[in-house]
Homo-oligomer: A and B are copies of this chain.
Amino acid sequence: MGWVAIVTVHIPIGVMVSENLPTGRAPSIRDVARLAGVSHQTVSRVLNAHPSIRESTKLRVQQVIDDLQYRPNSAARALVKGQSRTIGVLSAMSAEYGPASSIAAIQDAAREAGYFVNTANLSRGEPSSIQAAVDHLMDQSVEGIVVIAPQVRVIEAIEKLSIAVPYVTLQSTGVADRHALSVDQIAGARLATRHLIDLGHRSIYHLAGPQDWIEAEARMRGFLEEMGANDVPTTAPILGDWTASFGYHAGRELLRVRDFTAIFSSNDQMALGLMHAIRDAGLDIPHDVSIVGFDDIPEAAHFWPPLTTVRQDFAELGRRCIALLLANITGGENEASSSSLIPELVVRSSTAPPAW
């Protein structure tokens, strides 16, 4: 991506105004009505595709609408209908590939359904920031919220709010639905771990995500479960922060006592850092150390060596998320939620049988 550092502003030059319209304001439904020689209600009916409108009337009104470049005022509509047709997204680390892809898909799906999307970032981790972000969304009177900030404390903050709108999180939060989570997320981690075990590895480290990220914990659990199921002795996972830099530094530490043949990293970025550290130490991947990542970001296929990882369909996740949320807002059925997304192991060149 290339981006420039200069911004340019464009200001509207002047708006052409039909002579019998008040200049200051945008045309309203009554302006249209007057020019079309009908009542404002008839215009409203045209706008909302009411069946009982004579074709000729409809055409005449539509003509005036086009002439005036009239646009319904969404604030007025929201006011009277009591719904904003806006959904909020609470997101952390939104510059990362995963969240960003999901958000993009969410926006597309929402727009498709005629909804606006209002995103609030949780860049800084303070509790007050979470509160502020949620408040911001509530101020907009969003009809639903998507949480892509799967940190325990964010969930807690939201639940504590006894929020007045339905919300969707991209992961399970409670004991009740823990099962649904385990089927899937844990399964992905088990897939990765199993792959290493099948190759013959018996000394496997796990570089996990931050402790308070729900999915980091799930992935860690998947790792531990699979290791246990195969009677492979485990060491305590290392808690990272998702960044490549952390992976690099963790790798350097681990290499001081080189007592492993493989590492399962909780995401691709940390895996990249790990590989950097391992190469720095003069070791070969996968000959000396095998590495598995998680997420399959687009770059992973071009890492050196190309990274074996677990693929997740973030876009599909985002779409389902919105389908589910909208179903709940409108009180419809949520067929989408039943089937769960299955992560898929993508084997590339960063894994091989252990040399010793």
A residues adjacent to B (C-beta < 8 A): 1-13, 15, 25-26, 71-76, 78-79, 82, 84, 93-104, 107-108, 111, 116-121, 123, 132-133, 136, 138-141, 150, 159, 162-174, 177, 180-181, 183-185, 188, 209, 213-216, 218-219, 242-245, 247-248, 266-267, 269, 272-273, 275-276, 279, 294-295, 298-299, 301-304, 306, 312-314, 317, 320-321, 324-325, 328, 334, 337, 340-343
A8 touches B180 (CB 8 A): yes
Do the beta carbons of A337 and B99 come within 8 Å of each other? no
Bound-state CA distance A4–B151 (Å) is: 12
Once the chains bind, are A3 and B102 in contact (CB under 8 Å)?
Answer: yes
Interface residue SS majority, chain A: mixed
Task: For A111, list chain B residues within 8 Å (CB).
Answer: 120-121, 132-133, 136
Q: A269–B298 contact, CB under 8 A?
A: yes
Contact: B84 with A95, CB < 8 Å? no
Q: List 27 A-B contacts (CB under 8 A).
A: A2-B209, A2-B213, A2-B216, A3-B295, A4-B172, A4-B184, A5-B188, A5-B341, A6-B185, A7-B171, A7-B320, A7-B324, A8-B173, A10-B163, A74-B139, A74-B141, A75-B84, A96-B100, A103-B119, A108-B123, A111-B120, A244-B299, A244-B302, A245-B298, A272-B303, A276-B302, A303-B304
A1 touches B295 (CB 8 A): yes
Whole-angstrom distance between the alpha carbons of A125 and B92 in the complex? 27
Q: How far is the CA of A191 from the CA of B76 in the complex (A)?
A: 52
In whole Å, how far is A16's beta carbon from the nearest beta carbon of chain B? 8
* Residues of chain B within 8 A of A104, CB atoms compared: 94-95, 121, 123
Chain B residues, Cβ within 8 Å of A183: 6
Whether A8 contacts B171 in the complex (CB less than 8 A), given A1-B267, A120-B111, comes out as yes
Do B118 and A12 touch across chains, with their CB atoms under 8 A apart? no
A168 partner residues in chain B, CB cutoff 8 A: 7-10
Which residue on B lies nearest to A266, using beta carbons?
B2
Known: A165-B12, A245-B301, A302-B272. A314 touches B3 (CB 8 A): yes
In the complex, what residue of chain B is closest to A76 when comparing beta carbons?
B79
A303 partner residues in chain B, CB cutoff 8 A: 272, 276, 303-304
Question: Which chain B residues lie closer than 8 Å to A244 at the CB level?
Answer: 298-299, 301-302
Please pick, from B107, B138, B170, B313, the residue contacting A7 in the complex, using a CB distance under 8 A.
Answer: B170
Residues of B within 8 A of A119 (CB): 103, 107, 117, 119
In contact, B15 and A164 (Cβ under 8 angstroms): yes
On whether the beta carbons of B324 and A304 are closer than 8 Å, the reply is no
Residues of B with C-beta under 8 A to A299: 244, 269, 272, 299
Q: Are A1 and B93 in contact (CB under 8 A)?
A: yes
